[in-house]
């Protein structure tokens, strides 16, 4: 079994998000980067599925050399080898095209991603890779079982879940529940240094989006406190002032 | 050139988020001085299809092939892309629902289109077609320009609202050409809790955190949510401890929501949690710690013990509803 896991290099979840250059660029000063938390879930499930000599896990990242520590982290968690497509990740369309180009002749049984990256929150890459490769894709999955030729997958829907089966190659984007994120062991960290990290060049593709500007949410006014012994007045405020109930 | 909106059905019905997408698509069609066509896939009664006219759809393409009764994103994307080409649509709008998230990227690739997902406002009219969308898990917005000829927009639930704009609507059957290779995923089972409000598109949300001390104490949270007609949610430590299901976890690594009212009970308000809820229109915080960071972003607050405040709130709400 061969699994490809797509990983994104994202700002740590505690990062305070600011912008520079007239709000046209993300301010990377002092930002710590991590493996996108959802991608860690995908990677952890891939490792579980291939454990005990049942297969191999390759991780792929589209990014520049500065991403290598994040890629090595994925190797430390337990991927067998890694590929970095050497290009700034312009948008999901660009990233998905690069992943599809790499994967098209490599015979992966499945390609996993996280449900979304925590920076651009797109949830686009998995389904786009599926479309570029003309294979099924299932987005935002909560459970993944694989019997060697077909997968049984639970995907999230509003107010419930859907159980689907897929035969043959597929792509899926993983959410919480698919696996507990694995933490690198000391042995994993040591061996990650010598595992293969291949760098390939990007293919050209038309531009379809670009970020013109960023905005931060408008600050809220100060809180109106209601004394704990006058709880009923909160109901009044929500009804007649905020008009939400 | 025209606008096409995909109207997702669930058990033959359209939800509010669909009418929001139609209202939004109609506003774009007006911006572009063109018509709005809707496309519906699956079994939907004529009377329900006609509802789309209330929000400005002039025509609905109705696809009711047997193989397409349940959602298969690969096949649905083919049908929608074919309809867009036949109808001359260059802007495709859909709801950024769970299914929409699996569908929009495939449509975008088929049509070589830029995709703005998580859209919260109408496109700019400065000739650049820039759309404000959520980014950094609610900590920011990215104004994204779609530079391609074809464009796909997935609208966040509860961002634009439902706007009535009654139009005479015609229903046209659309015969879809279905490839067997597009039917690779097979639905075995759909489990839907019908007695609960779905969290991603809920207008009101009652959420609780570690301050509740244990899963056995969620009765009052559910009672409060039930009285309000609200969905229930929780913080990350609560779902990590399996007190509540992962599907209720809101925050940076859970789901981001933007309800009209978010009531946070016993949640301190870590930056990762705030990221997922900061676009809520009104935030109420109930916490016994007056220094809890959540109070800094709240509109209303009560400093007090949840186990005393919530039961009083339930009584007050019962009295309010008479």
Digit-coded pLDDT (tens) for A194-224: 999 999 999 999 999 999 999 998 888 899 9
Tell me which residue in A131, A164, A231 faces B187 most closely, judged by beta carbons.
A164
Rg of chain A taking only CA atoms, in angstroms = 21
Q: What ipTM goes with this model?
A: 0.96
Rounded Cα–Cα distance for residues B199 and A178 (Å): 20
Rounded Cα–Cα distance for residues B291 and B286 (Å): 12
Query: Using one digit for the tens of pLDDT, what is the confidence trace for B47-80?
Result: 999 999 999 999 999 999 999 999 999 999 999 9
Residue pointed to by tokens 């299809």:
B49
- B110 touching A (Cβ < 8 Å): yes
> Nearest-CA residue of chain B relative to A239?
B320
Under DSSP, is residue A16 helix (H, G, I), strand (E, B) or coil?
Answer: coil
> Nearest-CA residue of chain B relative to A210?
B145
Residues of B in contact with A93 (CB under 8 A): 108-109, 114-115
Residues of A in contact with B197 (CB under 8 A): 159
Rounded Cα–Cα distance for residues A156 and B98 (Å): 7
State mean pLDDT over A171-177.
96
- B308 touching A (Cβ < 8 Å): yes
Rounded Cα–Cα distance for residues B247 and B229 (Å): 18
Q: Three-state SS string across B10-46, please?
A: ECCEECHHHHHHHHHHHHHHHHCCCCEEEEEECCCCH
Report how many Cβ contacts below 8 Å link chain A to chain B.
Answer: 276
> Nearest-CA residue of chain B relative to A37?
B253
| pLDDT at B307 > cutoff 90 | yes
Angstroms from B177 CA to nearest CA on chain A:
16
Contact B170, B58 (CB under 8 A): yes
Rounded Cα–Cα distance for residues A226 and B316 (Å): 14
> Nearest-CA residue of chain A relative to B149?
A208
CB contact under 8 A, B128 and A244: no
Tell me which residue in B99, B117, B316 faces A122 most closely, judged by beta carbons.
B117
CB contact under 8 A, A235 and B317: yes
Angstroms from B50 CA to nearest CA on chain A:
24
Our separate counts of H helices and E strands in chain A read 6, 15
Q: B18 CB contacts (<8 Å, ≥6 apart)? A: B7, B8, B9, B95
pTM reported for the whole predicted model: 0.95
Residues of A in contact with B193 (CB under 8 A): 159-160
Residue B301's nearest CA partner among B317, B313, B319, B315 is B313
Query: Using one digit for the tens of pLDDT, what is the confidence trace for B168-214?
Result: 999 999 998 899 999 999 999 999 876 778 898 899 999 999 999 99
Residues of A in contact with B254 (CB under 8 A): 176
Contact B286, B309 (CB under 8 A): yes
| pLDDT at B138 > cutoff 90 | no
Residue pointed to by tokens 């929000």:
B55
Q: Which DSSP helix (H) or strand (E) runs through B237? A: helix B236-240
Tell me which residue in A125, A142, A209 faces B144 most closely, judged by beta carbons.
A209
Residue A209's nearest CA partner among A124, A87, A110 is A124
Structure tokens at B55: 């929000």
State mean pLDDT over A118-133.
95
DSSP state of A8: -
CB contact under 8 A, B142 and A211: yes
Contact B259, B198 (CB under 8 A): no
Contacts by B60-63, CB closer than 8 A, 24 or more apart: B60/B7, B60/B169, B60/B170, B60/B171, B60/B172, B61/B37, B61/B87, B61/B172, B61/B173, B61/B174, B62/B171, B62/B172, B62/B173, B62/B174, B63/B39, B63/B173, B63/B174, B63/B175, B63/B176
Structure tokens at A138: 């299932």
Angstroms from A99 CA to nearest CA on chain B:
14
Angstroms from B30 CA to nearest CA on chain A:
23
Q: Where are the beta strands (DSSP E) in chain B?
A: 2-7, 9-10, 13-14, 36-41, 59-63, 89-95, 114-119, 130-135, 140-146, 151-155, 170-173, 185-192, 204-208, 231-234, 261-265, 282-287, 300-303
Angstroms from B258 CA to nearest CA on chain A:
13
> Nearest-CA residue of chain B relative to A39?
B253
| pLDDT at A142 > cutoff 90 | yes
State mean pLDDT over A157-178.
95
Contact B99, B11 (CB under 8 A): no
Query: What integer best gives the mean pLDDT of chain B?
Result: 95
Rounded Cα–Cα distance for residues B234 and A176 (Å): 14
Query: Using one digit for the tens of pLDDT, what is the confidence trace for A3-37?
Result: 999 999 999 999 999 999 999 999 999 999 999 99
CB contact under 8 A, A208 and B112: yes
State mean pLDDT over B241-246.
94
> Nearest-CA residue of chain B relative to A124?
B105
Structure tokens at A141: 């999955």
Rounded Cα–Cα distance for residues B226 and B220 (Å): 10
């Amino acid at each position: 079994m061969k699994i490809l896991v797509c990983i994104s290099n994202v700002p740590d979840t505690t990062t305070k998000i600011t912008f520079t250059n007239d709000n046209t660029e993300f301010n990377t000063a002092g930002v710590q980067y991590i493996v996108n938390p959802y991608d860690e879930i995908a990677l952890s499930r891939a490792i579980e599925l291939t454990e005990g000599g049942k297969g191999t896990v390759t991780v792929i990242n589209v990014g520049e050399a500065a991403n290598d520590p994040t890629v090595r982290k994925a190797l430390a968690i337990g991927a067998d080898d890694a590929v970095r497509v050497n290009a700034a990740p312009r948008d999901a369309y660009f990233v998905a095209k690069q992943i599809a180009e790499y994967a098209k002749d490599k015979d992966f049984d499945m390609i996993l991603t996280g449900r979304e990256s925590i920076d651009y929150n797109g949830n686009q890459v998995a389904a786009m890779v599926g479309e570029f490769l003309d294979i099924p894709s299932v987005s935002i999955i909560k459970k993944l079982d694989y019997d060697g030729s077909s997968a049984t997958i639970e995907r999230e829907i509003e107010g419930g879940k859907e159980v689907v089966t897929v035969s043959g190659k597929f792509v899926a984007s993983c959410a919480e529940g698919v696996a507990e994120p694995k933490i690198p062991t000391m042995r994993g960290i040591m061996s990650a240094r010598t595992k293969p990290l291949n760098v390939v060049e990007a293919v050209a593709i038309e531009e379809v989006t670009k970020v013109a500007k960023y905005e931060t949410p408008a600050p809220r006014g100060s809180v109106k406190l209601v004394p704990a012994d006058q709880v009923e007045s909160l109901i009044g405020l929500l009804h007649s002032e905020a008009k939400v109930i | 050139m025209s606008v096409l909106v995909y109207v997702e059905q669930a058990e033959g019905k359209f939800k509010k988020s669909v009418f929001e997408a139609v209202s939004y698509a109609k506003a774009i069609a007006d911006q572009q001085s063109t018509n709005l066509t809707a496309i519906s896939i699956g079994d939907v009664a004529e009377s329900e299809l006609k509802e789309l006219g209330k929000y400005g759809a002039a025509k609905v393409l109705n696809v009711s092939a047997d193989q397409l009764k349940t959602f298969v994103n690969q096949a649905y994307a083919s049908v929608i892309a074919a309809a867009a080409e036949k109808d001359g649509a260059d802007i495709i709008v859909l709801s950024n629902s769970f299914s929409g998230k699996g569908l929009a990227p495939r449509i975008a690739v088929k049509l070589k289109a830029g995709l703005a997902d998580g859209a919260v406002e109408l496109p700019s009219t400065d000739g650049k077609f820039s759309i404000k969308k959520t980014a950094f898990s609610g900590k920011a917005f990215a104004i994204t320009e779609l530079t391609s000829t074809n464009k796909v927009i997935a609208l966040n639930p509860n961002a634009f609202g439902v706007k009535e704009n009654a139009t005479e609507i015609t229903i046209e059957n659309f015969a879809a050409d279905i490839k067997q290779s597009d039917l690779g995923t097979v639905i075995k089972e759909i489990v839907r809790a019908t007695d609960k409000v779905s969290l991603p598109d809920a207008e009101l949300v009652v959420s609780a955190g570690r301050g509740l001390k244990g899963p056995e104490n969620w009765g009052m949270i559910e009672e409060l949510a039930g009285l309000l007609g609200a969905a229930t949610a929780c913080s990350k430590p609560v779902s990590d401890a399996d007190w509540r299901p992962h599907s209720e976890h809101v925050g940076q690594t859970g789901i981001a929501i933007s309800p009209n009212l978010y009531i946070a009970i016993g949640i301190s308000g870590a930056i990762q949690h705030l990221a997922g809820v900061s676009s809520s229109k009104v935030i109420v915080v109930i916490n016994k710690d007056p220094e809890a960071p959540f109070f800094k972003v709240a509109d209303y607050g009560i400093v007090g013990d949840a186990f005393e405040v919530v039961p009083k709130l339930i009584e007050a709400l019962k009295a309010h509803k008479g």
